[in-house]
Copies of this chain bind each other. A is one copy, B any other.
Amino acid sequence: MVDPRTSVIAERLKEVKRIIAVSSGKGGVGKSLVASTLALALAKKGLKVGLFDLDFTSPSTHVILGIVLGIEGLRPEEDRGIVPPIVHGLKYMSIVYYSNDLAVPLRGADVSNVLIELLSITRWGKLDFLVLDMPPGIGDATLDLIRLIEKPEFLVVTTPSQLAFETVRKLTSLLKELKMPIIGIVENMKRDQTRTIQQQTRELGVAYLTEIPYDTKVEEAIGSPNKLLDTLIGKSIQELASEMQNL
């Protein structure tokens, strides 16, 4: 049976110029931080930006942005669909509006269902960029996104750790098989001058976009977007945001 909602999705996204899927092979590499900071940096440049947290099993962009949930907190408006609230200059959407930040044990089929539901009800309107915080690895959400959305562009986050990069190798080879465009790789939490990841990225035939030095100030900046833009991750990502039009 064809899900009638899937035909609605293209309509909902038709005024969105570019969709950037911030991904990683494994968790804990700073994917949500990069996605949030990239969205903030693009918005700071005066662009129309949306941020959509698709990491349903461990959503964290709302914590990074310092969003207060609950009855007194932020809620999307219902108006022929759902209008995402504007937070720090971003149109922001997450499952946490509905789960009230409680645990959401979702089976894969539910992940698909929530993804399709949120994509088909959210009215993004005109956007220059819609940044997606993807779940780590390749599971239901990634497979559905590829099926449902006209060519999302992938930006892949890794750390200098070989454990992280091995998972990136798998992710990029699969994305290439699926003919998905990969903007490039960002190396996060860099602590020294080694160029191993840079070299291995080029061997994969993927662009090495930028390196982000490890910065202990990031932990304190969680919840404060202005502080975040002032950390080393904020600075590297703002440079990247300036180059985004050419990537």
**Which A residues have a C-beta under 8 Å from some C-beta of B?**
25-29, 32, 57-58, 60, 63-64, 101-112, 136-140, 142-143, 159-164, 166-167, 170-171, 173-174, 191, 216, 219, 222
The answer to whether B103 touches A171 (Cβ under 8 A) is yes
Closest to A169 in B: B103
Query: Considering the chains assembled together, what is the distance between the CA atoms of A160 and B109 in angstroms?
Result: 33
Closest to A139 in B: B57
The answer to whether A137 touches B26 (Cβ under 8 A) is no
B26, B64, B104, B164: which contacts A163 (Cβ < 8 A)? Answer: B64
Query: Considering the chains assembled together, what is the distance between the CA atoms of A105 and B173 in angstroms?
Result: 11
Q: Which residues on B sit within 8 Å (CB–CB) of A102?
A: 170, 173
The answer to whether A136 touches B174 (Cβ under 8 A) is no
Q: 5 closest Cβ contacts across the A-B interface?
A: A28-B28, A108-B108, A27-B27, A103-B170, A57-B137
Query: Considering the chains assembled together, what is the distance between the CA atoms of A222 and B29 in angstroms?
Result: 17
B29, B64, B103: which contacts A138 (Cβ < 8 A)? Answer: B103
Query: Considering the chains assembled together, what is the distance between the CA atoms of A229 and B216 in angstroms?
Result: 27
Closest to A102 in B: B170
Given A139-B105, A143-B105: A163 in contact with B27 (beta carbons within 8 A): no
The answer to whether A109 touches B109 (Cβ under 8 A) is yes
Nearest CB in chain B: distance from A65 CB, A: 12
The answer to whether B167 touches A60 (Cβ under 8 A) is yes
Nearest CB in chain B: distance from A156 CB, A: 13
Q: A101-B170, A108-B108 are in contact. List 7 more A-B contacts (CB 8 A).
A: A26-B28, A58-B170, A102-B170, A103-B171, A104-B138, A106-B138, A108-B139
Closest to A189 in B: B28
The answer to whether A222 touches B162 (Cβ under 8 A) is yes
The answer to whether A174 touches B105 (Cβ under 8 A) is yes
Q: Which residues on B sit within 8 Å (CB–CB) of A173?
A: 102-103
Query: Considering the chains assembled together, what is the distance between the CA atoms of A112 and B139 in angstroms?
Result: 12
Query: Considering the chains assembled together, what is the distance between the CA atoms of A234 and B106 in angstroms?
Result: 34
Closest to A137 in B: B57
Query: Considering the chains assembled together, what is the distance between the CA atoms of A191 and B102 in angstroms?
Result: 29
